[in-house]
Amino acid sequence: MSRRKKGIFVLAIASGMAAVAGAIWIASGSRTGPDIAIEGHSISREEYLDCMKSVEYDTKIQIQQEHGTAYSEDFWLQEYNGRAGYEILAENTVERLKYIHAVYDIAWENDDVEDASYAALRRRWENENSRRNEKDDNGEVIYGLKEYTFELYLQYEMSILKETYCNDGTREGMDLTDEEMHAHYDSREWTFKENEERADFDTAKVAVERELREQKYDDMVERWARDSKVDGSMEAVFQFTLKNIQ
């Protein structure tokens, strides 16, 4: 996958520059964006906030379970093992953005999407909803939802991209050996849903292959996300999150 440049996770900058950037941000940060880029994709205010909202609930539950705290008005301001709640939320948002961009960069590498940007994703979402609304106006059958929220469309498209990748045995990681297949089959029991009888290898082969390919795809995306280069000031991201969570 030569079109993608891998790098290390870069967030720190010189303390003097950070102080200047922080002062500038206080004046304009909540109106602009978090001022970070992931693998060259500049993260806009809208993209960051969309992602932040999608992980906010899970982050709240994470903090409550890990630290045994109840939700309160100052929940995001409280510190949990030295980290403020809004900082944990910011870190989770960045990690989710890295994962999403890994999915779309892989899809772009394989010509599954023409444009891996957030702006292009929103256009596809809007076009899909327009298409569904038009079918509804014409009295045509609509399969699935009548209209997608942005988050639901993102999940839908990511699942399609995963399926497209896993269905192509010529792609990286999808050419499975007999040894891999048998090892995965032997890793647990495979049963028929109807009577829970154990399925032999030949019977379970299709399911084994599908599950193994999906696992290898997930592992690949995780590696891409983990290795993604993030440029910018994490302190600015923290402050942007704080301003927009209240």
Rounded Cα distance between 228 and 25, Å, is 25
Query: In whole numbers, what is the pLDDT of the chain averaged over residues?
Result: 88
**pLDDT digits over 24-57, tens only?**
433 344 458 899 999 999 999 999 999 999 999 9
For the cut 80, the answer to whether the pLDDT of residue 19 exceeds it is no
Rounded Cα distance between 6 and 124, Å, is 27
3-state secondary structure 126-142: HHHHHHHHHHHHCCCCC
Residue 41, beta-bridge partner list: 38
Q: What is the largest CA-CA distance in the chain?
A: 68
What is the dihedral sign for C-alpha 215, 221, 224, 227? negative
The pLDDT score that the predictor gives to residue 31 is: 56
Where along the chain do its domains lie?
15-245
137, two tokens: 């106006």
**pLDDT digits over 81-116, tens only?**
999 999 999 999 999 999 999 999 999 999 999 999
Mean pLDDT of 187-209: 89
Query: Is beta strand 83-84 parallel, antiparallel or unpaired with respect to 230-232?
Result: unpaired
Q: What is the pTM of this model?
A: 0.85
Q: How far is CA 85 from CA 79, 232, 235, in A?
A: 6, 21, 14
SS3 241: helix
* Domain 15-245 is found in CATH 1.10.4030: yes
The pLDDT score that the predictor gives to residue 126 is: 98
